[in-house]
């Protein structure tokens, strides 16, 4: 091999080493540029999507646990702290060697000098996620306290279906009892209850129902349910039917909304509302559990649908079970060798499941604890 060819190879090797080192340094520089404000868009949406999916799975799993008399566990994501670190080092060294032989001959292919280049980079992402279990006072405040009747009326005023909402959140309205699906105290609804809901839904669709807050003193306020005066004859007939079924004064235009099962007079709407835990117990009763588990005594059988004014009532939510993992599920969890899931094409069940998670915010009472403020470097 000639000296010229050796020099060409050495120059090519040095150029390759420099190119590799350069690419490494450029990559580290670009990684460093992505730290700081550039991470907000990526991290915020990625973490929010992950939390939403885990929240759905946790909710469905706890519904299944309640159905199987297994204690539910709820964990809140308290904080997410994502810290990034970029480290890089670069080294260079050179050496000159002499390989002159006694007769002055330099062996071919043996370098007379060398250059050493080195680079090292490290990119680290260490997210810290804190979880807060709902226990003690927080559990009692969030899950054991009944929903305020004013909150139920506000949701109706916001356009949520009155019949579905009252079926889910109320035990008794002016002495009319709702269905409850818990195994320990399962009860059937009064026939007049579903009849009242059918009339009330038609009144709601006409826009004849409203609400008003009347200030009593500096600390207390009364929630009033109102009926519009000028309505169509068909709507007026539904309003009269609702008044009759609830024992309300036919001439009253405003009704005081209170918590309770029996009104004090014919100008009061008494609602015995449910707590979140009671709502979960009732919703879990609609789960279509495997027949094998029922035969083994692991869980009670699913109750048949109740009859309303127009025939059998559809369940509030359809939650299926199968031995195989579902192919098109909105949310699915694995429990005791079976998959429990909600069909992604069942819009009504998806809507109620999402609404169930939303109403958690309506039962928070009392002051919230201030979160700890953490300051971290961004690069």
Cα(109)–Cα(181) distance, integer angstroms = 88
State yes or no: pLDDT of 340 exceeds 80.
Answer: yes
- Model pLDDT for residues 220-261, shown as the tens digit of each residue: 667 778 877 777 888 889 999 999 999 999 888 888 889 998
- Distances from the Cα of 133 to the Cαs of 6, 16, 78, 137, 364, in angstroms? 70, 56, 9, 11, 15
Beta strands 221-227; 176-177: pairing state: unpaired
For 4-8, 194-198, 295-299, 311-315, which range has the lowest pLDDT when averaged over its residues? 4-8
Strand positions, DSSP E, the chain: 75-96, 113-133, 170-173, 176-177, 209-215, 221-227, 254-259, 268-273, 307-308, 311-312, 320-322, 329-335, 338-343
Average pLDDT over residues 362-376: 51
pTM over 0.85: no
Cα(202)–Cα(151) distance, integer angstroms = 21
* pLDDT tier for residue 376 given thresholds of 50, 70 and 90: very low
Beta strands 113-133; 75-96: pairing state: antiparallel
Contact 333, 60 (CB under 8 A): yes
Q: What is the pLDDT of residue 220?
A: 61
- Model pLDDT for residues 152-188, shown as the tens digit of each residue: 888 888 889 999 999 999 999 999 999 998 777 788 9
State yes or no: pLDDT of 130 exceeds 90.
Answer: no
């Amino acid at each position: 091999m000639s000296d010229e060819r050796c020099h060409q190879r050495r120059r090519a090797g040095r150029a390759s080493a420099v190119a590799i080192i350069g690419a490494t340094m450029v990559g580290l520089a670009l990684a460093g540029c992505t730290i700081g404000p550039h991470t907000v868009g990526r991290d915020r949406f990625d973490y929010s999507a992950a939390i939403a999916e885990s929240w759905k799975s946790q909710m469905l799993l706890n519904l299944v646990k309640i159905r199987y008399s297994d204690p539910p566990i709820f964990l809140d994501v308290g904080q997410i702290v994502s810290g990034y670190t970029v480290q890089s080092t670069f080294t260079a060294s050179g050496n000159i060697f002499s390989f002159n032989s006694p007769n002055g001959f330099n062996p071919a292919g043996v370098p007379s000098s060398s250059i050493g280049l080195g680079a090292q980079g490290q990119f680290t992402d260490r997210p810290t996620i804190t979880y807060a279990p709902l226990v003690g006072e927080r559990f009692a405040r969030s899950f054991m306290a009944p929903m305020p009747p004013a909150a139920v009326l506000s949701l109706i005023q916001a356009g949520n279906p009155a019949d579905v909402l009252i079926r889910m959140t109320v035990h008794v309205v002016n002495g009319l009892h709702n269905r409850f699906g818990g195994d320990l105290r399962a009860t059937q609804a009064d026939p007049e209850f579903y009849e009242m809901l059918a009339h009330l839904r038609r009144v709601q669709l006409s826009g004849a129902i409203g609400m008003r807050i009347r200030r009593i003193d500096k600390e207390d306020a009364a929630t009033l349910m109102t009926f519009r005066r000028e309505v169509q004859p068909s709507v007026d007939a539904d309003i009269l039917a609702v008044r009759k079924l609830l024992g309300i004064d036919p001439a009253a235009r405003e009704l005081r909304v209170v918590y309770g099962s029996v009104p004090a007079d014919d100008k009061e709407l008494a609602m015995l509302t449910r707590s979140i835990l009671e709502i979960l117990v009732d919703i879990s009763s609609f789960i279509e559990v495997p027949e094998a588990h029922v035969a083994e005594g692991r869980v009670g059988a699913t109750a048949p649908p109740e009859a309303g004014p127009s025939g059998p009532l559809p369940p509030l939510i359809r939650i299926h079970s199968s031995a195989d993992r579902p192919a098109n599920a909105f949310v699915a969890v694995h429990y005791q060798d079976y998959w429990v899931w909600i069909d992604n094409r069942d819009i009504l069940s998806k809507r109620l499941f999402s609404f169930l998670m939303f109403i958690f915010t309506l039962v928070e009472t009392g002051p919230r604890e201030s979160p700890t403020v953490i300051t971290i470097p961004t690069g």
